[in-house]
Amino acid sequence: MTGSDAAGEDAEGYAGLRIERARELARRHGWASVRVLEPGQLITMEYREGRLNLAVRDGVVERSWEG
67, pLDDT greater than 70: yes
* CB neighbours of residue 47 within 10 Å: 8
Mean pLDDT of the chain: 87
Domain boundaries, the chain: 10-66
pTM (2 decimals)?
0.80
Q: In this predicted model, which residue has the larger pLDDT, 3 or 28?
A: 28
Closest CA to 60 of 20, 9, 8: 20
55, pLDDT greater than 90: yes
Q: Are 54 and 34 in contact (CB under 8 A)?
A: yes
End-to-end Cα distance, the chain? 17
Return the bridge partners of 37, or none: 55
63: Cβ contacts below 8 Å, ≥ 6 apart: 15, 54, 55
Which of the residue ranges 7-11, 29-33, 35-39 would you say has the lowest mean pLDDT? Answer: 7-11
Architecture of domain 10-66 in this structure: 2-Layer Sandwich (3.30)
